[in-house]
């Protein structure tokens, strides 16, 4: 269990992020076309998971826009934006924002939030995901993690991008 804050008040996650050096937990997430996709769909590529509570919040929208901009210049890398939003809402958000370099994936019918240790247990955000970055290499090993201490804060983009090399 990890403790972060939301507007300065402590909230807890169900577990901890996957450990650096370990194999990434497999996942089944739902894309904008209502298709389930797993880790193996991105085999041989580096994966940057931008995990956010909801694309309907300003900080989540900002981080998604920023990673979309950066992703256009990343070789052999996919940027996956993971949230509890329904795929319909994710599709609408990405279309309105013109986001072409990120893939939005929904946790709505998966165990991803629990498996990755980001499910929020308390506060009005219970059931959503904490804000986190997980980078997985071409061999599906976790090479970097970042749990954002204050959920309303943006992640450290530079640290995440440096971890990609």
Q: How many degrees, rounded to 5, is the angle at CA 119 between CA 110 and CA 136? A: 70
Q: Return the percentage of the chain with pLDDT > 90, whole number.
A: 91
pLDDT value of position 91: 94
With b for 16 or more beta-carbon neighbours within 10 A and e for fewer, the 9-37 pattern comes to eebbbbbebbeeeeebbebbbbbbeeeeb
Distance in angstroms between the alpha carbons of the first and the last residue of the chain: 29
Please indicate whether residue 94 is annotated as part of the active site: no
Identify which of 10, 15, 157, 32 has the alpha carbon closest to the alpha carbon of residue 82. Answer: 32
Question: Where do the structural domains in the chain lie, given as residue ranges?
Answer: 3-163
User: Residue 43: is its pLDDT beyond 80?
Assistant: yes
User: Residue 74: is its pLDDT beyond 90?
Assistant: no
Q: Report the chain's mean pLDDT, rounded to a whole number.
A: 94
Question: Which is the catalytic residue, given 29, 51, 60, 148?
Answer: 60
Please state which architecture CATH assigns to domain 3-163: 3-Layer(aba) Sandwich (3.40)
pLDDT in tens, 5-19: 899 999 999 999 999
User: Residue 71: is its pLDDT beyond 90?
Assistant: no
């Amino acid at each position: 269990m990890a403790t972060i804050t939301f507007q300065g008040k402590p909230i807890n996650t169900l577990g901890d992020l996957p450990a650096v050096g370990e194999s990434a937990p497999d996942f089944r997430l739902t894309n904008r076309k209502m298709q389930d996709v797993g880790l193996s769909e991105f085999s041989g590529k580096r994966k940057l998971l931008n995990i956010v509570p909801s694309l309907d919040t300003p900080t989540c929208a900002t981080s998604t826009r920023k990673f979309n901009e950066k992703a256009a210049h990343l070789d052999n890398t996919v940027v996956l934006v993971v949230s509890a939003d329904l795929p319909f809402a994710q599709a609408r958000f990405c279309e309105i924002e013109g986001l072409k370099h990120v893939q939005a994936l929904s946790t709505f019918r998966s165990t991803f939030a629990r498996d990755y240790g980001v499910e929020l247990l308390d506060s009005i955000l219970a059931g959503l995901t904490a804000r986190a970055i997980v980078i997985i290499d071409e061999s599906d090993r976790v090479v970097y993690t970042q749990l954002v201490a204050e959920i309303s804060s943006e992640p450290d983009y530079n640290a995440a991008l440096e971890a990609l090399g």
